Structure 1
């Protein structure tokens, strides 16, 4: 989301180097969106390695005067087609592997949006459909129109709303969860402060202690917890940690090999739920 040509200093923060390091490490999914305003960068970066990439993009968020946080949602059928054509052109591809509706619309019924997205599949412009920032009812209605391959929602130790209503439906439908912000926008990667030690639930202390036992950072443990959601809940889960640094990318990749014990998972579960 934050990859940019501008402002990158040194090889470690070169966005092309970051993406290529991910591909070299065996990561196959690259996720972007028209709202991230970096589709052209992503397209250039993967051009020589397109067959190694499951390319995902999103549509629906329309910025107001380019101000972050201020946006409208457009999901009407004509805009679905327009947005897909524009994203494909910026990415320099004939087909987008996974195409998401970025946010639920309050004005366009989701059946209409997904119906138009399904037409893109029929035309060979998109391979699979996804949703993001929706309700369980949205997912149920959308899936009745066309199979929803992936649902991208926030899921971390301190953001667990997905577990309440969405997760049971996801399991029934066979949809893959793409868990964005698995370290809570970096909050769980930050160095613990004295204030954290005085916290009521001790989550930060637990992350550090478990990390010490695995020779891992607190952020890696938090990311490993999300990796373990697949075995805990029996649904496919793809954590989606973002980074603008090669070094940070390598830490994220290594987190997939942090095997947490049942006791450690239970401890994190209880402390995270209390946050």
Structure 2
């Protein structure tokens, strides 16, 4: 296993929604949220240039850099004039420009895990990863990651330079990663970083508020949560953490939050130990949707 992957921990912290504007609410102070994650033993802090908060993240980890496995991404360029709001750039020149800009905004000399945020339909992934590999050779990046790619992309990229982590959405309500990407990652020894492990917060909602999830599967989740004296979202997060045993590869859930209280709840989900029977019930969750 890649030494960098071993430092990712059992759970990461996704900083996507962190902003400075908190209205004076101490529970939502972004620096306090990141410090609470580090205090709880979380090592990976994940951001991206597209999140427009790298300066904030850099400020939050200042003085604690040696505690952090810092991850960032490049490739999405905001464009308010196009549908979806962004273009994709992954050419070698842009790889170098984007990495230098992220290093500057983060206030660090090296990014531990640097992802291509989205594959480009115009640039062969070999060219992009080749330019990213040069950053490793220069000591500006320690490891490479991919996000929003296909299994074929992963294999082609890995042939150019070892890919440490693949960041894709994975939850009880979104399991597309299991079809082709998971077998490819397992074959190559690539860690899965599972973003949105509670279905973009959907599985944190109460039964009454969560009608987007059918009553049958919701009842399964709520029953198991009651048995563990936990919340539904914690059980959903624990299910993702148990995936590494089911699929024989390292899986690191990456929940994100803007509150210290929610951060602590997410960390506590690491202590929810699901039985084989409960895992079988949750595995049937998708079929019942």
TM range (shorter): over 0.9
Contact 2:172/2:198, CA 8 A, preserved across alignment = yes
1:196 CA displacement: 4.1
CA distance in 1, matches of 2:287, 2:190: 24
For structure 2, list consecutive stretches of 5 or more residues without a partner in the other structure: 1-15
Deviations 1:51-82 (Å, cap 9, x if unpaired)?
00000000000011399941110000000000
- The answer on 1:241 being equivalent to 2:279 is no
CA distance in 2, matches of 1:208, 1:48: 41
- The answer on 1:191 being equivalent to 2:192 is no
User: Which SS does the other structure have where 2:118 is aligned?
Assistant: coil
1:205 CA displacement: 1.1
Residues 163 and 99 of structure 1: CA distance in aligned 2, closer, same or farther (over 3 Å): same
1:272 CA displacement: 2.3
User: Which SS does the other structure have where 2:71 is aligned?
Assistant: strand
- The answer on 1:152 being equivalent to 2:150 is no
1:235 CA displacement: 0.6
Contact 1:196/1:205, CA 8 A, preserved across alignment = no
CA distance in 2, matches of 1:40, 1:66: 25
Contact 1:151/1:176, CA 8 A, preserved across alignment = yes
User: Which SS does the other structure have where 1:89 is aligned?
Assistant: helix
For structure 1, list consecutive stretches of 5 or more residues without a partner in the other structure: none
1:83 CA displacement: 0.1
CA distance in 1, matches of 2:209, 2:99: 48
Q: How many pairs align?
A: 274
Q: Which residue of 2 aligns with 1:261?
A: 275
Q: Which has the higher contact order (CA 8 A, sep 6+)?
A: 2
User: Which SS does the other structure have where 1:48 is aligned?
Assistant: coil
CA distance in 2, matches of 1:254, 1:69: 35
After TM superposition, the score normalised by the length of structure 2 is 0.92
Identify which of 42, 46, 50 aligns with 2:65: 50
User: Which SS does the other structure have where 2:70 is aligned?
Assistant: strand
